[in-house]
Amino acid sequence: MKFGIICAVAAELAPFLPHIKNCKASTKAMLTVYEGTINGTEIAALYCGIGTTNAAIATQILIDTYGAGAIINSGTAGGMDAQLELFDTVICTGAVYHDVQEAILTAFHPKLPSIHFKACETLIEKSKNVKVNGKIYYGRLVTGNKFIDDDGRNEINAKFEPLAVDMETASIAHVCYVNNVSYVAVRTITDTADHSGVGTFEENCPKASEISSEIVLGML
Look at residue 209 in the predicted model and tell me its pLDDT: 98
Contact 7, 75 (CB under 8 A): yes
Q: Residue 210's domain spans which residues?
A: 3-219
Query: Which residues are the active-site residues?
Result: 12, 191
Contact 175, 58 (CB under 8 A): no
The pLDDT mean for the chain works out to 96
Distances (CA, A) of 57 to 12, 28, 125: 18, 10, 27
Give 64-96 pLDDT, tens digit per residue: 999 999 999 999 999 999 999 999 999 999 999
Look at residue 41 in the predicted model and tell me its pLDDT: 98
Reduced to 3 states (helix: H, G, I; strand: E, B; else coil), residue 36 is strand
Look at residue 9 in the predicted model and tell me its pLDDT: 98
**Which residue(s) pair with 189 in the sheet?**
77
> How many structural domains does the chain have?
1
Look at residue 193 in the predicted model and tell me its pLDDT: 87
Contact 20, 218 (CB under 8 A): no
CB atoms within 10 A of CB 109: 8
In terms of DSSP H, where are the helices of 38-168? 52-64, 102-106, 121-127, 153-160
Taking the C-alpha atoms of residue 204 and residue 52, their distance in angstroms, rounded to an integer, is: 22
Distance of alpha carbon 113 from its chain centroid, rounded?
Answer: 22
Look at residue 208 in the predicted model and tell me its pLDDT: 97
The list of the chain residues with pLDDT below 70 reads: none
In terms of Cα–Cα distance, which of 11, 141, 130 is closest to 79? Answer: 141
CATH code, domain with 158: 3.40.50.1580
Q: Which residues contact 103 (CB under 8 A, 6 or more apart)?
A: none
Look at residue 196 in the predicted model and tell me its pLDDT: 84
Look at residue 195 in the predicted model and tell me its pLDDT: 87
